Every structure is written in C-alpha cells, then in structure tokens.
Amino acid sequence: MQGDGRMGIVAALVRSTFLVDAVYAASARKYGITSQQGQLLCVLMAGPRGMTELGAMLRLAKSSLTGLVDRTERNGLVGRESDPDDLRAVRVALTPHGSELVEEFYAETCRRIEDLPAALDPEDRDVLADLLGRVVLANEVPEVFLASEEGTGKKV
C-alpha cells in the first residue's frame, strides 16, 4: 500500500489475479471440476480446437495439456476427434455433457466475476474495463473467455 491508502499497480494486478482465480476455483468446485478443466471447457465453447492451439491459448506444455485433456475426457466432458485438415492431428471437442456443464459453469463464473467490482459506480467500471482491456490487448492475451455482458458472444 502507498502512504495514501492506495495500492500500487503491481500489487493491484497481482492481487486482482488472485481474486479472479479464487472465484474461478469456487465455480469449478461447485461443478466438480478443476479450474484448469473449467478453462479448457470455456475455450472449447467456441468449437473444437487442435492440441497445439489449446496449448498456446492455455499456456500449457504439451505434456500438461495432454494430462488435462485425458482427465477431462475420462470425466466425459470432452472427446478427441480427427482433424479434417490434418489426418495425423486430433482436435478436442465438448461432449453433450461437457456442453451442458460448461454453459452452467460459464454463467456462474460470469455472475461471480461481475460481482467483484460491485463497489464501483458504472463510470468507474467502464474505466476499469477499458484500462484492463488495453493491458490485455497490448500483451496479446489469447481470447479464451466469451464476453458475458450484453450477450455479444464476443470472446475476451
């Protein structure tokens, strides 16, 4: 904390990351999955993805991603399918059960995250969204989560 009771940028960003991670973990626990499985399912909401693409989006090494997909597949939430563009490659897709679960998980997670800045007035929320959005875009963070506001279906 700074002398005036305000938090510096590093502390604010790090602590906000912990805050969002905790919300994500609580939502995941409610649905009997891990946070990483929740992230994988959310990424797959937009459609099947190749393993290389998933690894880049989730920032996971190949072995970690394979283990994550294996565990999620054993739970009946995802399946592997042939890639029509490359018969040597596979894509990961949601199963019907996975699609149903991720819809509920996604809505719950959005609701919980939407509540985090509840103490801010609408103008400050807009400023926060703009500033964080600029940081994310400048650092080329992959689009891994569908937007919750206004039903845009736009990924964020």
What is the domain range of residue 106? 9-151
The total domain count for the chain is 1
What is the rounded CA–CA span in Å between residue 153 and residue 146? 6
Q: What is the mean pLDDT of residues 73-102?
A: 93
What sections of 31-50 are H helices per DSSP? 35-44
CA distances in angstroms from 45 to 36, 106, 134, 143, 144, listed in the order given? 14, 9, 24, 12, 9
Q: What is the mean pLDDT of residues 57-75?
A: 95
Predicted pLDDT of residue 151: 38
What is the rounded CA–CA span in Å between residue 73 and residue 81? 12
Q: Does residue 2 form part of some domain?
A: no
Q: What is the mean pLDDT of residues 57-82?
A: 95
Q: Does residue 80 form part of some domain?
A: yes
Q: Does residue 142 form part of some domain?
A: yes
Q: Does residue 61 form part of some domain?
A: yes
pLDDT in tens, 108-154: 999 999 999 999 999 999 999 999 999 999 998 877 776 555 333 44
Order of strands across the sheet that contains 86-94: 49-50, 86-94, 78-83
Give the predicted TM-score (pTM) of the model: 0.83
